[in-house]
Amino acid sequence: MWSILTSSNFQWVLASTMTLGIASGMVGCLAYWKKQSLMSDALAHSALPGVIIGFLVIGEKNIIFLITGAAVSALVGAFFIQWIQSSTRITEDTAMGMVLSIFFGLGIMLLTIVNRSAGGNQSGLDSFIFGQAASMVKLDVFTMLILALVVITIIFIGFKEWKLFLFDPQHAKGLGLSLSMMNVIYTLILVTTIVIGIQAVGVILIAALLIIPSVSARYWTNSFHYMLILSALFGGLSGAFGTYLSAVGKGWPTGPFIVVVAAILFIFSLLFGKEKGLLITWFEQYLERKRIGTTKQTSTIGTKGVN
């Protein structure tokens, strides 16, 4: 176990997945308040065809080309969701479901073709479905770290603008803040977080890392500021502990363990969160019933004394 902790490869992977978790938690918090949590799932699945096409274009597993292809594919998916919603009578959630299914189906079809080609089954592209952090090389880790830090910095620097954009868009517009530009930046950082995370946790599970930490944080606070911090904390802890558990297991997949840790934090928040956690809510209702019962009993005694 100690040899694992002191391994430079493990330390780099741990740093990248923890930073990815922090970035995912912060972006997921924005998506939660924008009521677009499903968007992250749709764009994650939309990124898969771009990964495969990027591989087909250059013929090798180059992380720069693969994430570029994933980003372009996810942005095309976002464009189609917006176009379907604005040009038809189809609702946004239905458009997301359609794009998710079509793009993921296309990605699986392309992946099957690649795997059946000469040497294709050695490409390692299957890891982009469920993730395989252990297979990342130093370039992959550096790329993930840098882009995740860029996302975190954008959210941190523009905190006031994000707050206005999410909660009072009309006031933001009156102050001269471009809502369309904020939407573009939001989409870009969402897509960036997705494409840097798909190799670590996969296109299927990256959506969970975007959604679960923010939902968990919501059970602890009503403040956007503190929710953003807690969501980043939960995401970072999920990335760190999930990576550690998978490393101890010697070959266990990292993505599923990261999501399992996130799910455990969610269950804990669901039960004990001070903002409508189940046990806290039950205890408050119990105290209220007890108070009402005591009040009624005192009232009854007082009435008898008057009689």
pLDDT reported for residue 297? 66
Report the CATH number that the domain containing residue 152 is assigned in CATH: 1.10.3470.10
Rg (CA), the chain: 23
pLDDT reported for residue 182? 93
Dig out the tokens for 24 from the structure.
């995912």
Contact 213, 262 (CB under 8 A): yes
Query: How far from 278 is each of 74, 218, 262, 283, 284, CA to CA, in Å?
Result: 37, 13, 18, 9, 10
**CA 39 to the chain's CA centroid:** 10
Spatial CB neighbours of 155, under 8 Å, sequence gap ≥ 6: 26, 27, 30, 162, 189, 228
pLDDT reported for residue 267? 95
Kindly report, residue by residue over 69-107, the tens digit of the pLDDT. Answer: 999 999 999 999 989 988 888 888 899 999 999 999 999
CB atoms within 10 A of CB 107: 25
Domains identified in the chain, total number: 1
Contact 246, 133 (CB under 8 A): yes
Task: Tell whether 291 is covered by a domain.
Answer: no
The residue behind tokens 């790329």 is: 143
What span, in angstroms and rounded, lies between the C-alpha atoms of 44 and 207? 7
pLDDT reported for residue 184? 92
Task: Tell whether 10 is covered by a domain.
Answer: yes
Q: What angle do CA 195, 198, 201 make, to 5 degrees?
A: 145
Contact 59, 35 (CB under 8 A): no
Kindly report, residue by residue over 120-167, the tens digit of the pLDDT. Answer: 555 567 777 767 766 677 777 888 889 999 999 999 999 999 999 999
pLDDT reported for residue 118? 57
What span, in angstroms and rounded, lies between the C-alpha atoms of 246 and 196? 19
Task: Tell whether 258 is covered by a domain.
Answer: no
Task: Tell whether 141 is covered by a domain.
Answer: yes
Cα within 13 Å of Cα(275), Cβ side: 11
Task: Tell whether 20 is covered by a domain.
Answer: yes
Task: Tell whether 256 is covered by a domain.
Answer: no
Domain region containing 205? 2-210
Please state the three-class secondary structure of the chain as a single string.
Answer: CHHHHCCHHHHHHHHHHHHHHHHHHHHHHHHHHCCCHHHHHHHHHHHHHHHHHHHHHHCCCCHHHHHHHHHHHHHHHHHHHHHHHHHCCCCHHHHHHHHHHHHHHHHHHHHHHHHHCCCHHHCCCCHHHHCCHHHCCHHHHHHHHHHHHHHHHHHHHCHHHHHHHHHCHHHHHHCCCCHHHHHHHHHHHHHHHHHHHHHHHHHHHHHHHHHHHHHHHHCCCCCHHHHHHHHHHHHHHHHHHHHHHHHHCCCCCHHHHHHHHHHHHHHHHHHHCCCCCHHHHHHHHHHHHHHHHHHHHHHHHHHHHHC
Residues of the chain with pLDDT under 70: 1-6, 118-124, 130, 133-135, 250-251, 296-307
Task: Tell whether 158 is covered by a domain.
Answer: yes
pLDDT reported for residue 149? 92
Dig out the tokens for 118 from the structure.
């000469």
Contact 31, 39 (CB under 8 A): yes
Task: Tell whether 17 is covered by a domain.
Answer: yes
What span, in angstroms and rounded, lies between the C-alpha atoms of 193 and 92? 21
